[in-house]
Amino acid sequence: MKFLIARLNHETNTFSPVPTPLSAFAPTYGEDALRENQGMRTAMAAFIDLAQGLGATLVTPVSAMSNPSGPVHAAAYDELTRRIVEAAPGCDAILLDLHGAMVAENSPDGEGDLLERVRAAAPGVPIGVALDLHGNITPKMVANADVMVGFKTYPHIDMYETGEHAGRLLLAMLQGRQHYRVHWHPLPMMGHTLRSTTLQGAMLRAVDAARAAEADGVPAVTVFAGFSLADIEAPCMSVVVTGHAEDPGAAQAVADRIAATIWEERAEFVYDSEPLAQSLQRAQALAQGAERPVLLLDHSDNCMSGGTCDSMDVLQAALAEGLADIAVGPLCDPEAVAELVAAGVGAQCSVRLGNKVPLTQLNVAKEPVALQGTVRAISDGEYTVTGPIYTGARCAMGRTVLFDTGSALIVVTEKTHEPWDLGVFSCVGVDPTAHRFVLLKSRMYCRPVFVPLSHALVECDSPTGVTSSNYALFPFRNVRRPVFPLDAV
């Protein structure tokens, strides 16, 4: 048997000014793509383990993953998808590790168009897809996959398990033991990302219902939260069921039932941000007498949702409110890094920091903030993730500087980076737990590591950020209306 196994991941924030060229994906090809995923916690790694366990021949045309950012450049999309499509003929099974919310300059339905082309290139060959929980599912995606399974955790810690699930079902099809069909119930509902956590609330209840259905014998049930910061026709929630082909009604009934419950609880998927000043005042009160730090999450500039990672709004407001002893990181400003590296460790200097990437889609441009301080450390910004997300992955933030302003210790990097590990601080010698506040540009990925080490968590939404929870900031033009909560549906 010959298995086509590939990975192509991108969550597209169409309002993000961060470009997405081919280099953003750091793609690997052929044997390099195979080696890159072996032993990792990706869905592609699970596909590889399953295929190798069968003694199958593996075709791995590409492994490519980019942090969320603006629309994928047309040349990048064409090159990466071409390699997958051209590898499909002659294969007996196709397993794809995709995201589900990719928008390219030349394709508003990145995964749907890819799957349609793969199906045409290899007619009759079973196709299995593993997707992120935040996938924006489309008719083309549903029509051109035989098996579709998405993550059941956010923060995402079940990437490998999702791949194993999808691969196991596809193998049953390949061996003639089962025939599956994908069923779908889309909802006219743009949920907020902060309400898609599977740790609590309505999303946890929906995912529990999906797990219960699987325990009752349904092959696969996924609640997709969608990614609403994409100005496409339907950046919405949906329920997808991979069911037995001989009983399509039963599978559709499961999707409809879970979707109806989600709709009844739709208000629970809306996140209302409190004013930033109020959030910071609450943080100050929580820190009184605390032995561990209070986490401040700047979720309006989260690079894993397309943020620039250089907004100074929350840090400025925190300093204005009198907060001190703040560990901040990472803040992306390659220009400032160059200046501070040139100054050297121990140098006292003034630097204009952050706010250098204009938010063109929101018609917002801000001035960098002049700060005085001391260069405390310089490093290569590399560390290894200890888990539980991307365990074992080697991360590189580019040259990294620790800048001490007195009130704040700021980790300044050359590259945008999600703080999913203590390594973002330890690479410059900082123990974040030794400080009163820890300010992270993150929504969710930081939580498995940082929350257990903290006294409390305060979510901070700035008035201007491309990953803000305030939908009023975003000029949606392509979304099909009416849709909740933009409209009273």
pLDDT recorded at residue 463: 84
pLDDT recorded at residue 86: 98
Q: Whole-prediction pTM value? A: 0.93
pLDDT recorded at residue 394: 87
Average pLDDT, the chain: 96
Give 176 or 96, the one with higher predicted confidence.
Answer: 96
pLDDT tens digit string along 230-287? 999 999 999 999 999 999 999 999 999 999 999 999 999 999 999 999 999 999 999 9
- Residue 280: what residue type? L
pLDDT recorded at residue 139: 98
Residue ranges and CATH numbers for the domains of the chain are: 2-269 (3.40.50.2300), 276-468 (no CATH)
pLDDT recorded at residue 445: 87
Listed residue (145, 64, 65) closest to 112, CA to CA = 145
pLDDT recorded at residue 177: 87
Q: Residues 334-356: what's their mean pLDDT?
A: 97
pLDDT tens digit string along 24-49? 999 999 999 999 999 888 999 999 99
Q: Could you tell me the pLDDT band of residue 173, with boundaries at 50, 70 and 90?
A: very high
CA 417, distance to chain mean position in Å, is 12
- Residues, the chain: 489
Q: How far apart are CA 480 and CA 467, in angstroms?
A: 21
Give 386 or 423, the one with higher predicted confidence.
Answer: 423
pLDDT tens digit string along 102-116? 999 999 999 999 999
Q: How far apart are CA 465 and CA 302, in angstroms?
A: 9
287 with 455: CB under 8 angstroms? yes
Q: Could you tell me the pLDDT band of residue 188, with boundaries at 50, 70 and 90?
A: very high
Tokens of 162: 């999702």
- Is residue 373 classed exposed, middle or buried when 0-12, 13-18 and 19+ CB atoms within 10 A define those classes? buried
Q: How far apart are CA 27 and CA 106, in angstroms?
A: 20
pLDDT of 386 strictly over 90: no
Q: How far apart are CA 207 and CA 384, in angstroms?
A: 31
Listed residue (159, 169, 160, 150) closest to 255, CA to CA = 150
Q: How far apart are CA 131 and CA 31, in angstroms?
A: 23
